[in-house]
């Protein structure tokens, strides 16, 4: 079976006269898979997410959806790509446009020309999935930072994408907000939605991701399961991220397999 989303030798940037920010990057996503993008600022994480949905012109490479190459110059193929692959921006204020949270969730389905009852059903499901049923009449711009991020996510989920791309979704969230976000991400996996997100939080990557990709200077430096990624982190030039705490403790205690969460570590220790 072909990956749900695949990029092959992708190169992209922001100005034709400048060298590309992203260079020869190839990776794929399987249905329901969770992949984390790691790398320092300027490594190309946001550029990759934007290029995956045709928001940046490619200077090389291809985007494939379900085993078929997407012609990004054809409007119909680009529209289909953006229905199946949703993008949540790092700053929700760049994405929220409707006067109410409910309107935000309904905006995409309504623009697809769906019947009103289907629009409402999709919006209701998206709001419930993000824990926003009690906020449906509020203005998105009066929400807290965490609620705004979940409102932006609801707007994308209402399109019923098969792949979700998220740019540093936990940035600026307090612990409660991070917990609510992770609960929403867990529900996505149960629904078979593949997720590719960028983050600087190595502890989150360790407990959450099926695979992790490391971008350094616009190139894919490593792509593997988290245990192998963090085992080789010291050998990657330019990699300066800390070791996840649970990973480090598990290693020190000689646990095998290594625990993936603090709760699992506590159970294993007892």
d(CA 74, CA 177): 39
pLDDT for the residue 137 = 93
What mean pLDDT is predicted for residues 226-241? 83
CA atoms within 13 A on the CB side of 58: 21
Q: Determine what percent of the chain is predicted with pLDDT higher than 70.
A: 100
Domain ranges of the chain: 5-88+162-175+192-240, 92-160
Domain 5-88+162-175+192-240 has CATH 3.40.50.300: yes
Stretch among 16-25, 71-80, 116-125, 171-180 having the lowest mean pLDDT = 171-180
Q: Is 236 exposed, middle or buried (0-12, 13-18, 19+ CB in 10 A)?
A: middle
User: What mean pLDDT value characterizes the chain?
Assistant: 91
Q: Which two tokens stand for residue 187?
A: 């529900």
Measure Cα distances from 121 to 71, 188, 193, 195 in Å. Answer: 32, 17, 19, 23
pLDDT of 268 higher than 90:
no
Residue 31, SS3? coil
Q: Determine what percent of the chain is predicted with pLDDT higher than 90.
A: 70
Q: 101: which residues sit within 8 A by CB, 6+ positions away?
A: 127, 132, 135, 136, 137, 138, 139, 140, 143, 151, 154
CA atoms within 13 A on the CB side of 118: 10
pLDDT for the residue 1 = 74
- Which residue bears the tokens 């996505």? 188
Residue 3, SS3? coil
pLDDT tens readout for residues 132-152: 988 999 999 899 888 898 999
pLDDT of 234 higher than 80:
no
266 vs 28, which has greater pLDDT?
28
Q: 231: which residues sit within 8 A by CB, 6+ positions away?
A: none
pLDDT for the residue 207 = 93
pLDDT tens readout for residues 174-228: 888 788 888 888 888 888 899 999 999 999 999 999 999 999 999 999 999 999 9
pLDDT for the residue 39 = 92
| Residue 233 and residue 219 in contact, taking contact as beta carbons nearer than 8 Å | no
pLDDT tens readout for residues 88-121: 999 989 899 999 999 999 999 998 889 999 999 9
Total-model pTM: 0.93
| Residue 220 and residue 260 in contact, taking contact as beta carbons nearer than 8 Å | no
């Amino acid at each position: 079976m072909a990956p749900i989303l695949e990029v092959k030798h992708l190169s992209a940037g922001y100005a034709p006269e400048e060298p590309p920010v992203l260079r020869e990057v190839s990776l794929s996503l399987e249905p329901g898979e969770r992949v984390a993008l790691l790398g320092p600022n300027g490594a190309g994480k946001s550029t990759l997410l934007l290029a995956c949905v045709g928001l940046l012109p490619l200077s090389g490479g291809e985007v494939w959806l379900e085993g078929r190459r997407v012609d990004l110059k054809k409007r119909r193929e680009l529209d289909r790509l953006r229905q199946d692959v949703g993008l949540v921006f790092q700053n929700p204020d760049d994405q929220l446009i409707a006067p109410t949270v409910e309107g935000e969730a309904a905006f995409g389905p309504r623009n697809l020309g769906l019947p009103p009852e289907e629009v409402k059903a999709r919006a209701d499901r998206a709001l419930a999935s993000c824990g926003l049923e009690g906020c449906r009449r509020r203005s998105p711009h009066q929400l807290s930072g965490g609620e705004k991020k979940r409102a932006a996510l609801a707007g994308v989920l209402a399109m019923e994408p098969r792949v979700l791309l998220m740019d540093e979704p936990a940035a600026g969230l307090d612990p409660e907000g991070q917990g609510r976000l992770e609960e929403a991400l867990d529900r996505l996996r149960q629904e078979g939605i593949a997720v590719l997100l960028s983050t600087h939080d190595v502890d989150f990557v360790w407990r959450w991701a099926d695979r992790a990709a490391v971008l350094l200077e616009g190139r894919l430096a490593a792509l593997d399961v988290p245990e192998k990624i963090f085992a080789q982190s010291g050998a990657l030039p330019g990699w300066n991220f800390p070791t996840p705490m649970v990973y480090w403790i598990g290693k020190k205690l000689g646990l095998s397999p290594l625990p993936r969460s603090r709760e699992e570590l506590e159970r294993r220790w007892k």
